[in-house]
Amino acid sequence: MYLCQTFFLLILGMSILLDYVRMFEGKNDLDRRNTLIGTLESKGHNFELEDYKYKGEEGINIIVTKGDGQRDILLTTHYDVVPGSPGANDNASCIAVLLDILEKLKDYKVKNRIRIIFFDDEEINCIGSQAYVAKHGVDNIIGVYNTELVGMGDTVGIWPVTKDVEDSKVLLNLKSVLEDKGYPYGEAGLLPLLFSDHRSFRECGLKDAFCLSMVDGKDMNEIRRFAESPKSMQGEIPFMFKLYHSSEDKSKYLSEEALRLMSDVIYTSIVRLDQDS
């Protein structure tokens, strides 16, 4: 199936997103950074390397800016990896999706400003995104679409969705896009087992910041229960969490379909939000 799909995509001249994943798979933080920089350069994307020293850590966030408006729509992920893990789903899958969206944005005239940010040090308490928020603030941000674990599954997971954010313009926009396209999705509240860079924006008062993941729809309830309270699960651990932060987080478990679905959802959502804001 994958070989057939690969052949079809090559005929259309489209990038194979799993090939992007394999470029980063198994590499440490420094090598991932250098690979990402080289890829952005080869694709003709202008970018900024924003150094930081924050809470005892030093790192580099990589920022690509499209448009010259006064307000920002942020599309974010992290490029660092847990030592000992190949990091295919966490988080090379998300790097691949953002690179794909960058290619799509070449043909789009941005009304506001879209910033695609690859954060460093997410695995160290989201230090990279904390440093970004400390420097730039959140006042000019329309919304944040953060990505985490997007390489496997058939259903889009939106989190954390709590009572205080149910009227969020970003959330309503996401749900509208998913319903228009007929893509299955589910919402989850606070997930103590998981954290990601949207948290840095939420903690500074920006409710229009969400994380998107891909999950297996038939396991949605089990995945939600496990992420909310791992100790409450008496049965088998959901497969995606068997791979999470492990030596088995490999590209062989991921799918081109999942990556492309997420790319389509996010691109359509940020364009719609940009036009409506």
Per-residue pLDDT tens over the stretch 221-270: 888 877 777 766 666 788 998 999 999 999 999 999 999 999 999 999 99
Nearest to 243 by CA among 116, 10, 82: 82
Q: What is the pLDDT of residue 222?
A: 84
Structurally, the chain folds into a number of domains equal to 1
How does pLDDT run across 203-215, given as a tens digit for each residue? 999 999 999 999 9
Q: What is the pTM of this model?
A: 0.93
The CA distance from 160 to 187, in Å, is: 7
**Count, residues in the chain:** 277
Which CATH number goes with the domain that contains 46?
Answer: 3.40.630.10
How far from chain centre, in Å, is Cα 230?
23
Q: Which of 60, 143, 148 is nearest to 97 (CA)?
A: 148
pLDDT classification of 7: cutoffs 50, 70, 90? very low
Please name the amino acid found at residue 253: Y
What is the amino acid identity at position 202? R
pLDDT at residue number 38? 98
The string of pLDDT tens digits covering residues 87-121 is 999 999 999 999 999 999 999 999 999 999 999 99
The pLDDT, as a whole number, for residue 234 is 61
Domain assignment of residue 32, given as a range: 2-276
- Measured torsion, CA atoms of residues 244, 246, 262, 128, in degrees rounded to the nearest 10: 90
Q: Backbone dihedral region of 245: left (phi > 0), alpha (psi from -120 to 50 degrees) or beta? A: left
Does 72 score more than 50 pLDDT?
yes
